Structure 1
Amino acid sequence: MERIIKSKVRVQKHGEVFTPNRIVKEMLDVPGIRESCENLTATFLEPAAGEGAFLVEILDKKLEMVSEQYNDDLKQYENYSLLALSTLYGIELLEDNAQICVMNMYGKYYQCYQKQVEFHQGRIKKNVLDSAKKIISLNIENGNFLTRQANSGQPIVFSEWKPLNLRKTTKVLKVQRTEYTLDALYENIKNTSGKSLKSIPSEPEQLDIFSFLEEEHEVEVKERKEMIYVPVPIVDVYKEEMEEL
C-alpha cells in the first residue's frame, strides 16, 4: 500500500501529507501542464517539494523528451539532459524530506543517463554526474517558501542556468550561472549576468607580532571582492568557475 503520511505527529505539526503517484501523474497530464513538462526550457518551482514526487515525475517526462529530440549521440544527450535538469526547483521545509528529494532527483537522472549510455555503447562520465549533483543540490532548498528563508535563517537563493548557445544543432551547451534570492524573483529583479551573491574577502595586511613594541598598528581589511560566474560548458558547472568583477 502506498504511503501518504509518515506519522500523525508530522501531520499535526507540519501538515505533511504525500500525494499518491497516481494523482501526481493525473495532475501533470492536464493540458498546458503536460506540454510544459515536455518543454526543454520551461521552469518549475515546487514550493512544498516533499520527497520530490512531482519534480521526479516532471524530470522523467523531460528526460524522455530529450531522449527523443536531442539524442544524436551521447554527448548531445548529456548536455541537453543537464539543461532539462537545471529547470527544476524545489523548496522543502523538513530537512529529511529535502535530502530524500535530492537523492530521488539524482536517482532518476542517473537511471535515465545509464540507459542512454548503454544505448550509445558509451561510458558514464564523472563530470556529467558531478554537474548533475551540483545542479540538484543548488536547485533544491531546505527552507520555508512563505518566509522565503532557508532553514539557516538566510534568504533562499536559487541559480539560473542560462544557455548561451541554444540551437537545435548545438551539441555542446555553454551556460552562465546567475544567483537570485527568492525575494528578487518575486519582485522580478534582473541581476547582472553571472552575478554571485557570495563575495570573497581580500587578504588583510600581515600584522607583525612585534609591532606593538614600536607603535600602534592598525590592520587594514580590504573590501570584499565581488565575483561573477563565468560561462562554462554545462557538463563542467560543478567546478563553479568564477572571476573577479
Structure 2
Amino acid sequence: MRMYHIFSQYYFQAIRKWNGEGSRKVNSSAMTIIAANMQQGDAIKKTTRDGSPIIFSEWKLLPVINGVQKVQRTEYTLDSIINGGEPLDGSTPSGKVEQLNLFGFDDEVDEGPKRRFKSCKLVDIYKEEMEEVKS
C-alpha cells in the first residue's frame, strides 16, 4: 500500500500539473503491477506460504504501433531468476499434472495447452487477459 500511495501522489501531481483527468484504469493497472511484484514468502526455499513457487513479473515495452504503446508481461520464478533459468514463457499450465510412466521413460507427457498474458495497452494491464500459446 505504501508503494501505491507514493505512485498515487506522483500520478495526481502530474495530473494537476498538466490539467489532466485521473483514470481508474491507470490506478488499477498500477495496483496490478505492484501486487505482481510484491511477494511474501521464504526466499531460502523460494516458496510462498502455501508452498508454491515465488513468481515475479517482467514488463517489457513493445514497439509503438499506430501510436499505441503496449506491454508484454512475462513471469519468472524466483528460482529461475537466481539460477539464470528460463521464464515461464509468460504461460501457465492449463491444470494438467505431469505423471511419470515407470515403463516408458521416452513417452512424452502432454501438459496441455499453455497460457500467457496477452500484450496490452499500459492502462489495460489490470485486466490480466490471457491467451493460449500455440506450439
* TM-score w.r.t. length of structure 1: 0.44
Is 1:231 aligned to residue 88 of structure 2?
no
Q: Indicate which of 189, 202, 209 corresponds to 2:85.
A: 189
Paired with 1:239 and 1:186, the residues of 2 have a C-alpha distance of 29
Q: Which sections of structure 1, spanning at least 5 residues, go unmatched?
A: 1-102, 203-221
Is 1:133 aligned to residue 31 of structure 2?
yes
Paired with 1:199 and 1:129, the residues of 2 have a C-alpha distance of 29
Amino acid at match of 1:241: E
The secondary structure found in structure 2 opposite 1:158 is strand
How far did 1:235 drift? Answer: 1.4
- The structure with the larger Rg is 1
The secondary structure found in structure 1 opposite 2:45 is coil
How far did 1:228 drift? Answer: 1.5
How far did 1:239 drift? Answer: 0.8
Paired with 2:88 and 2:55, the residues of 1 have a C-alpha distance of 15
Structure number with the higher helix fraction is: 1
1:50 alignment partner in structure 2: none
Structure number with the higher strand fraction is: 2
Q: What percent identity do the matched residue pairs reach?
A: 37
Is 1:180 aligned to residue 76 of structure 2?
yes
Could you tell me whether the CA contact under 8 Å between 2:75 and 2:88 is conserved in 1? no
1:115 alignment partner in structure 2: 13
**RMSD, matched Cα:** 2.2
Higher relative contact order (CA 8 A, sep 6+): 2
How far did 1:200 drift? Answer: 3.1
2:60 alignment partner in structure 1: 162
* TM-score w.r.t. length of structure 2: 0.77
How far did 1:142 drift? Answer: 1.0
Q: How many residues align?
A: 118
**Kindly tell me: are residues 124 and 176 of structure 1, through their superposed partners in 2, closer, same or farther at Cα, counting changes over 3 Å?**
same
Q: Which sections of structure 2, spanning at least 5 residues, go unmatched?
A: 97-109
Paired with 2:111 and 2:76, the residues of 1 have a C-alpha distance of 22
How far did 1:172 drift? Answer: 4.7
Could you tell me whether the CA contact under 8 Å between 2:32 and 2:125 is conserved in 1? yes
